[in-house]
Amino acid sequence: MVDAPAAETPMNPPLWAWRHPRAQGAAGRCIGRTDLRVDPRRAKRLAHRIRQAARRHGLPRVVWTSPLRRCADVGRWLRRWGWQHRRDAALLELDFGAWDGRPWTHIAHAEVDAWCDAFATARPGGGESLLDMLARAAAWPVDDAPRLLVTHGGWMLARQWATTRSAPPAAAHEWPAAPAHGQLWRLA
Protein backbone atom coordinates (compact mmCIF):
# COMPACT_ATOMS: atom_id res chain seq x y z
CA MET A 1 0.00 0.00 0.00
CA VAL A 2 1.63 3.26 -1.12
CA ASP A 3 0.66 6.68 0.15
CA ALA A 4 0.60 9.54 -2.28
CA PRO A 5 2.71 12.45 -1.05
CA ALA A 6 0.75 15.14 0.73
CA ALA A 7 1.60 18.02 3.02
CA GLU A 8 0.14 17.70 6.51
CA THR A 9 -0.42 20.63 8.80
CA PRO A 10 -2.64 20.97 11.88
CA MET A 11 -4.94 23.26 9.87
CA ASN A 12 -5.12 20.91 6.88
CA PRO A 13 -5.32 17.30 8.04
CA PRO A 14 -5.12 14.64 5.39
CA LEU A 15 -7.88 12.78 3.71
CA TRP A 16 -7.29 9.04 3.90
CA ALA A 17 -8.70 7.99 0.53
CA TRP A 18 -8.93 4.40 -0.66
CA ARG A 19 -9.88 3.52 -4.20
CA HIS A 20 -12.78 1.08 -4.30
CA PRO A 21 -12.24 -2.63 -5.06
CA ARG A 22 -12.17 -3.72 -8.70
CA ALA A 23 -15.68 -3.62 -10.14
CA GLN A 24 -17.19 -6.60 -11.93
CA GLY A 25 -17.89 -6.05 -15.63
CA ALA A 26 -15.74 -2.93 -16.06
CA ALA A 27 -13.11 -4.35 -18.42
CA GLY A 28 -13.07 -2.60 -21.79
CA ARG A 29 -15.87 -0.22 -20.85
CA CYS A 30 -16.03 3.51 -20.15
CA ILE A 31 -17.02 3.50 -16.49
CA GLY A 32 -17.77 6.62 -14.53
CA ARG A 33 -21.16 6.65 -12.86
CA THR A 34 -22.29 3.21 -14.02
CA ASP A 35 -23.18 1.41 -10.78
CA LEU A 36 -21.27 -1.88 -10.98
CA ARG A 37 -21.04 -4.57 -8.32
CA VAL A 38 -17.88 -5.66 -6.54
CA ASP A 39 -17.14 -9.09 -5.17
CA PRO A 40 -18.42 -8.96 -1.55
CA ARG A 41 -15.19 -10.59 -0.34
CA ARG A 42 -13.14 -7.77 -1.88
CA ALA A 43 -15.38 -5.15 -0.28
CA LYS A 44 -15.03 -6.88 3.09
CA ARG A 45 -11.24 -7.20 2.67
CA LEU A 46 -10.89 -3.47 1.99
CA ALA A 47 -13.16 -2.68 4.94
CA HIS A 48 -10.85 -4.78 7.16
CA ARG A 49 -7.81 -2.84 5.92
CA ILE A 50 -9.54 0.47 6.63
CA ARG A 51 -10.52 -0.69 10.09
CA GLN A 52 -6.93 -1.77 10.80
CA ALA A 53 -5.55 1.59 9.62
CA ALA A 54 -8.04 3.41 11.84
CA ARG A 55 -6.99 1.36 14.88
CA ARG A 56 -3.28 1.73 14.16
CA HIS A 57 -3.42 5.51 13.61
CA GLY A 58 -6.23 6.49 16.00
CA LEU A 59 -8.52 7.61 13.18
CA PRO A 60 -12.25 8.26 13.56
CA ARG A 61 -14.69 5.40 12.94
CA VAL A 62 -16.52 7.32 10.25
CA VAL A 63 -16.21 6.53 6.57
CA TRP A 64 -17.41 8.68 3.68
CA THR A 65 -18.12 6.93 0.38
CA SER A 66 -19.40 7.62 -3.07
CA PRO A 67 -23.00 6.38 -3.31
CA LEU A 68 -22.03 3.88 -6.04
CA ARG A 69 -21.95 0.24 -4.88
CA ARG A 70 -18.27 -0.26 -5.61
CA CYS A 71 -17.55 2.26 -2.83
CA ALA A 72 -20.67 2.08 -0.66
CA ASP A 73 -20.41 -1.71 -0.20
CA VAL A 74 -17.17 -1.14 1.73
CA GLY A 75 -18.96 1.43 3.91
CA ARG A 76 -21.78 -1.03 4.55
CA TRP A 77 -19.29 -3.55 5.95
CA LEU A 78 -17.84 -0.91 8.25
CA ARG A 79 -21.34 0.10 9.36
CA ARG A 80 -21.99 -3.54 10.35
CA TRP A 81 -18.96 -3.25 12.62
CA GLY A 82 -20.25 -0.15 14.40
CA TRP A 83 -18.88 2.59 12.18
CA GLN A 84 -20.77 5.59 10.83
CA HIS A 85 -21.18 5.40 7.04
CA ARG A 86 -21.90 8.59 5.13
CA ARG A 87 -22.49 8.71 1.39
CA ASP A 88 -21.67 11.87 -0.58
CA ALA A 89 -22.32 12.39 -4.29
CA ALA A 90 -19.40 14.84 -4.38
CA LEU A 91 -17.12 11.77 -4.21
CA LEU A 92 -18.47 10.33 -7.48
CA GLU A 93 -16.31 9.50 -10.47
CA LEU A 94 -16.33 11.73 -13.57
CA ASP A 95 -19.68 11.74 -15.36
CA PHE A 96 -19.08 10.42 -18.88
CA GLY A 97 -22.64 11.18 -20.01
CA ALA A 98 -23.75 9.08 -22.99
CA TRP A 99 -20.42 7.21 -23.02
CA ASP A 100 -20.89 5.83 -19.53
CA GLY A 101 -21.13 2.05 -19.44
CA ARG A 102 -20.46 1.64 -23.15
CA PRO A 103 -17.55 -0.39 -24.52
CA TRP A 104 -14.70 1.91 -25.57
CA THR A 105 -14.82 0.23 -28.99
CA HIS A 106 -18.36 1.61 -29.46
CA ILE A 107 -17.31 5.23 -28.87
CA ALA A 108 -16.16 7.02 -32.02
CA HIS A 109 -12.42 7.65 -32.15
CA ALA A 110 -13.11 11.22 -33.30
CA GLU A 111 -15.10 11.86 -30.11
CA VAL A 112 -12.31 10.50 -27.91
CA ASP A 113 -9.75 12.55 -29.88
CA ALA A 114 -11.86 15.70 -29.40
CA TRP A 115 -11.94 15.03 -25.65
CA CYS A 116 -8.16 14.53 -25.55
CA ASP A 117 -7.59 17.71 -27.58
CA ALA A 118 -9.54 19.79 -25.06
CA PHE A 119 -8.95 17.52 -22.08
CA ALA A 120 -9.74 19.98 -19.29
CA THR A 121 -12.80 21.63 -20.84
CA ALA A 122 -14.44 18.98 -23.04
CA ARG A 123 -17.46 17.11 -21.70
CA PRO A 124 -16.99 13.48 -22.74
CA GLY A 125 -20.28 12.02 -23.87
CA GLY A 126 -21.95 15.30 -22.88
CA GLY A 127 -21.13 14.67 -19.21
CA GLU A 128 -18.82 16.52 -16.85
CA SER A 129 -15.64 18.35 -17.78
CA LEU A 130 -12.39 17.67 -15.97
CA LEU A 131 -12.44 21.32 -14.80
CA ASP A 132 -15.80 20.64 -13.12
CA MET A 133 -14.44 17.51 -11.45
CA LEU A 134 -11.28 19.31 -10.30
CA ALA A 135 -13.46 22.00 -8.69
CA ARG A 136 -15.73 19.39 -7.08
CA ALA A 137 -12.77 17.45 -5.67
CA ALA A 138 -10.99 20.60 -4.44
CA ALA A 139 -14.15 21.75 -2.68
CA TRP A 140 -14.56 18.55 -0.68
CA PRO A 141 -14.31 19.70 2.93
CA VAL A 142 -11.78 18.87 5.57
CA ASP A 143 -12.11 19.86 9.20
CA ASP A 144 -10.13 19.37 12.38
CA ALA A 145 -9.97 15.57 12.13
CA PRO A 146 -8.77 13.25 9.37
CA ARG A 147 -11.50 11.89 7.11
CA LEU A 148 -11.59 8.38 5.73
CA LEU A 149 -12.95 8.00 2.20
CA VAL A 150 -13.72 5.19 -0.21
CA THR A 151 -13.93 6.81 -3.61
CA HIS A 152 -12.90 6.52 -7.25
CA GLY A 153 -9.53 6.74 -8.97
CA GLY A 154 -10.56 9.77 -11.01
CA TRP A 155 -11.73 11.64 -7.91
CA MET A 156 -8.47 10.83 -6.11
CA LEU A 157 -6.43 12.08 -9.07
CA ALA A 158 -8.57 15.22 -9.29
CA ARG A 159 -8.15 15.99 -5.57
CA GLN A 160 -4.40 15.46 -5.74
CA TRP A 161 -4.09 17.58 -8.88
CA ALA A 162 -6.32 20.38 -7.57
CA THR A 163 -4.39 20.68 -4.30
CA THR A 164 -0.87 20.44 -5.74
CA ARG A 165 -1.05 22.24 -9.12
CA SER A 166 -2.10 25.71 -10.14
CA ALA A 167 -3.49 24.88 -13.60
CA PRO A 168 -5.44 22.01 -15.12
CA PRO A 169 -3.61 19.59 -17.43
CA ALA A 170 -3.04 21.13 -20.84
CA ALA A 171 -3.31 17.74 -22.55
CA ALA A 172 -4.54 14.23 -21.80
CA HIS A 173 -1.01 12.78 -21.68
CA GLU A 174 -0.30 14.95 -18.58
CA TRP A 175 -3.03 13.20 -16.56
CA PRO A 176 -1.42 10.54 -14.32
CA ALA A 177 -2.44 6.91 -14.02
CA ALA A 178 -5.15 6.07 -11.50
CA PRO A 179 -4.25 4.44 -8.19
CA ALA A 180 -4.62 0.68 -7.98
CA HIS A 181 -7.92 -0.72 -6.72
CA GLY A 182 -7.89 -0.73 -2.93
CA GLN A 183 -4.88 1.59 -2.79
CA LEU A 184 -4.62 4.24 -0.06
CA TRP A 185 -3.62 7.82 -0.82
CA ARG A 186 -3.29 10.44 1.89
CA LEU A 187 -4.43 13.68 0.31
CA ALA A 188 -4.45 17.28 1.47
How many separate helices (H) and strands (E) can be counted in the chain?
A: 5, 5
Whole-number mean pLDDT of the chain? 93
CATH code of the domain containing 50: 3.40.50.1240
> What pLDDT is recorded for position 135?
97
Mind giving me the DSSP string for 84-144?
Answer: EEEE-GGGPPP--GGGTTSBGGGS-HHHHHHHHHTTTT--GGGS--HHHHHHHHHTS---S
Mean pLDDT computed over 125-144: 94
Tally of domains in the chain:
1
Contacts 24+ apart (CB under 8 A), 168-174: 168/119, 168/120, 168/130, 168/131, 168/134, 169/119, 169/120, 169/130, 170/119, 170/120, 171/116, 171/119, 172/115, 172/116, 172/119, 174/119
126 in a structural domain: yes
Residue 13 banded pLDDT, cuts 50, 70, 90 = low
Q: Is the pLDDT of residue 114 over 90?
A: yes
Higher pLDDT, residue 153 or 2: 153
Entry pTM: 0.92
Higher pLDDT, residue 143 or 173: 173
> What pLDDT is recorded for position 147?
96
174 in a structural domain: yes
Q: Is the pLDDT of residue 89 over 60?
A: yes
| Residues spanned by the domain of 95 | 15-187
Q: Is the pLDDT of residue 2 over 80?
A: no
42 in a structural domain: yes
